[in-house]
Amino acid sequence: MPKLGIAIVGTGMIGAVHHRAALLAGAEIRGVAASSPHRARDVAQAWNVPRAYRDIEEVVTDPQVQVVHVCTPNHLHRAMAQAALEAGKHVICEKPLATTLEDAQALAALAASTGLVATVPFVYRYHPVVREARARIAQGELGPLHLIHGSYLQDWLLDPASNNWRVDPALGGASRVFADIGSHWCDLVEWVSGERFVDVSAAFATVIAERSTGTGQSFTTPAAGGAMQAVSSEDVAAAMFKTGAGTLASLTVSQVSAGRHNRLWFEIDGTRASVAFNQEDAERLWIGRPDQREETFVRGPSAGSAEQRRLSVLPPGHAQGYGHCFEAFVADTYHAIDGERPQGLPTFEDGLRSALIVDRVIASARSRAWTTIG
């Protein structure tokens, strides 16, 4: 099979992750587009790719490109993904799919009408032990569910000197912390548990009222000093959900929790067992049993469910992490373009589902009332 020709639009931290994953999946990177033609030329030279595109129009008219990776700030997702789909290109679009529910609905409908492969990187689905948890729940090992709970905590915006385009609602969207990381938790927990949220009660808080006017790349060390500006997007959020089966779920999200770098954690409690996963210790799945018994399932290619074994590309004791998840996601997207049907591949329909949850969470936080998700 000839190599897929791809273009990467957006060259920040996540663009570099896409670049590595695409190379490992066997694609040929035809070129990059960035925030400016000069930036595109610099990155094209650094990445040793042949073209620096001027803009999205040049990207989608390149006949050597079959797949467009959209890795730009959130407010650009809808227009760029739409342009690629309308040009007949397959698309990987960073989440959120769009900054409004209406734009996400339009993109999902367009993707469905074209028949093209269109995916969203909800890559935490690709931790092998997450697949193990999902398989055990699907097989009934936990029994009917009693409770779902967890958190997603970061600390990269704890310092008021830290700022980033995500903090600006005009670029990141009406919600920051919930749309940025709470969306990952919701996608993961709905997918693992097999239960969907139908109602939500949420609250937001901005605990750092002013931030530096200077902005930097995500997770970078801020520079001290300089002018400050008011912040309107939330730093922390809490939400309680009810699923269609009547199970309660609770979630806390934060980007200002000292010492928590990227701690996505969930526990799902059933009548016969519980499972818990911590993304910062992703080699292990905790399993609670009756009579105070505990077990630990360790990732590996020779035990557990078929999907857990498929995604365990290294022997036990050789840690896998976020990078491996992203690489598996991109490879599965390319396999889908080749006509395969990989399990658990998150598509624009999943991106739309996430946009719906975020929209309803925002509405609940504003109204201070239980709100139907649908």
196-248: pLDDT as tens digits: 999 999 999 999 999 988 776 665 666 666 788 899 999 999 999 999 999 99
Over 70: is that where the pLDDT of 364 sits?
yes
Q: What whole-number distance in Å separates Cα of residue 256 and Cα of residue 275?
A: 27
**Domain endpoint, select from 119, 144, 179:** 119
Q: What whole-number distance in Å separates Cα of residue 58 and Cα of residue 51?
A: 10
pLDDT score at 221: 63
Q: Are residues 142 and 275 part of one domain?
A: yes
pLDDT score at 374: 84
Over 70: is that where the pLDDT of 362 sits?
yes
Residue 211 lies in a domain: yes
CATH number at residue 61: 3.40.50.720
Closest CA to 218 of 158, 140, 295, 162: 162
Residue 266 lies in a domain: yes
Q: Are residues 272 and 161 part of one domain?
A: yes
Over 70: is that where the pLDDT of 17 sits?
yes
CATH number at residue 184: 3.30.360.10
- In this structure, are residues 175 and 234 in contact, taking their beta carbons and an 8 Å threshold? yes
- In this structure, are residues 119 and 21 in contact, taking their beta carbons and an 8 Å threshold? no
pLDDT score at 165: 85
For 317-346, write each residue's pLDDT tens digit.
Answer: 999 999 999 999 999 999 999 999 999 999
Q: What whole-number distance in Å separates Cα of residue 120 and Cα of residue 54?
A: 24
**Domain endpoint, select from 69, 85, 119:** 119
Residue 301 lies in a domain: yes
Q: Are residues 138 and 105 part of one domain?
A: no
Over 80: is that where the pLDDT of 1 sits?
no
Q: Are residues 250 and 105 part of one domain?
A: no
Residue 326 lies in a domain: no
**Domain endpoint, select from 70, 89, 119:** 119
pLDDT bucket at 164, cuts 50 / 70 / 90 = confident
Q: Are residues 161 and 147 part of one domain?
A: yes
Helix locations, the chain, DSSP H = 13-24, 37-47, 56-60, 77-86, 101-114, 128-138, 169-172, 177, 183-193, 306-311, 322-337, 348-367
- In this structure, are residues 111 and 89 in contact, taking their beta carbons and an 8 Å threshold? no
Q: What whole-number distance in Å separates Cα of residue 371 and Cα of residue 374?
A: 9
**SS3 state of residue 54:** coil
For 18-49, write each residue's pLDDT tens digit.
Answer: 999 999 999 999 999 999 999 999 999 999 99
Q: What whole-number distance in Å separates Cα of residue 290 and Cα of residue 269?
A: 11
Q: Are residues 309 and 179 part of one domain?
A: yes
Domain count, the chain: 2
- At position 148, the amino acid (one-letter code) is I
- At position 25, the amino acid (one-letter code) is A
Provide mean pLDDT across the span 98-115: 98
pLDDT score at 222: 66
Closest CA to 250 of 261, 266, 234, 274: 266
Q: Are residues 259 and 145 part of one domain?
A: yes
pLDDT score at 100: 97
Q: Are residues 233 and 97 part of one domain?
A: no
> Which residues, including other chains, have CB under 8 Å from residue 16's CB and lie 6 or more apart?
none
Q: Which helix (H) or strand (E) holds 241?
A: strand 236-243
Domain boundaries, position 236: 125-318+347-372
Residue 340 lies in a domain: no
- pTM of the entire structure? 0.94
Over 70: is that where the pLDDT of 159 sits?
yes
Q: Are residues 197 and 135 part of one domain?
A: yes
Closest CA to 247 of 222, 271, 227: 271
Q: What whole-number distance in Å separates Cα of residue 100 and Cα of residue 184?
A: 17
Closest CA to 288 of 305, 280, 304, 276: 276
What mean pLDDT is reported for the chain?
95
Q: Are residues 216 and 154 part of one domain?
A: yes
Residue 225 lies in a domain: yes
Residue 184 lies in a domain: yes
Q: Are residues 130 and 112 part of one domain?
A: no
Q: Are residues 141 and 96 part of one domain?
A: no
Report the DSSP pairing between strands 5-9 and 274-278.
Answer: unpaired
Provide mean pLDDT across the span 84-107: 98
For 259-307, write each residue's pLDDT tens digit.
Answer: 999 999 999 999 999 999 999 999 999 999 998 999 999 999 999 999 9
Neighbours of 122 (CB within 10 A): 24
pLDDT score at 74: 96
pLDDT score at 246: 98
Residue 253 lies in a domain: yes
> Which residues, including other chains, have CB under 8 Å from residue 306's CB and lie 6 or more apart?
135
Structure tokens given for 19: 């670049």
